[in-house]
A = this chain, B = another copy of it.
Amino acid sequence: MRLLAFGDSFVLGQGDPDHLGWIGRAVRARPEVTLYNLGIRGETSVEVARRWRAEAAPRLRAGESGILFSFGANDCQLEGGAPRVPTAETLLAARQALTEARQLAPILMVGPPPMPDPGVAARLETLNEHLKTLGGRIQAPFIDVFRPLFADGLWNREAEMLDGAHPGAGGYQRMADLVAAHPAWRAFLDGG
């Protein structure tokens, strides 16, 4: 199975000393999964939506691939007093990416993890709910990690100790465990 994972620095696993991130950890000991980690630092939903098709083309094999998206944190960062991407545009980008990708392969959306900054976290929590609602409306599988990671606390504690945004091995492992235990993840890996 070829797993194409598009998103931001959290998908990439920035700051993980093991260079795995949550997605590398979620497929550990499964060498039959070919992981294409296509996260890019700093990217918003709109930037991901713009490039994913071109990068998917040489990596996809019909019938043996799956396409995953996870973004939102950079959309919620303030730039000149306003979020980098307004909620309506994030939802439009997500909807477009998911509906187009679904024509090529099974899809999965993983919601954004939390962040220590209270303002960003509040916007992210709202965006996470909107993305979950969108997933339900267009019948795209969605895994919510925001609330369990926020409640657990390790993610934000590590992020605060490191660069203020990205956790270390512990936080990424918690997110991997949440994702790997979700029925939508198992259905996605089996269907790809």
Query: Contact residues of A with B, CB < 8 Å?
Result: 2, 12, 14-20, 24, 27-31, 33-37, 40-41, 43, 47, 51, 54-55, 58-59, 168
Looking at the complex, which one of B27, B28, B34, B55 makes contact with A41 (CB distance below 8 Å)? B34
Q: Do B40 and A59 touch (CB < 8 A)?
A: yes
Looking at the complex, which one of B15, B19, B54 makes contact with A24 (CB distance below 8 Å)? B19
Interface of A is mostly: loop
Complex contacts, A16 vs chain B, CB 8 Å: 31
Copies of this polypeptide in the complex: 2
Q: Do A20 and B17 touch (CB < 8 A)?
A: no
Q: Which chain B residue lies CB-closest to A13?
A: B35
The 4 closest A-B pairs by CB, nearest first: A17-B31, A19-B24, A17-B29, A15-B31
Complex contacts, A14 vs chain B, CB 8 Å: 34
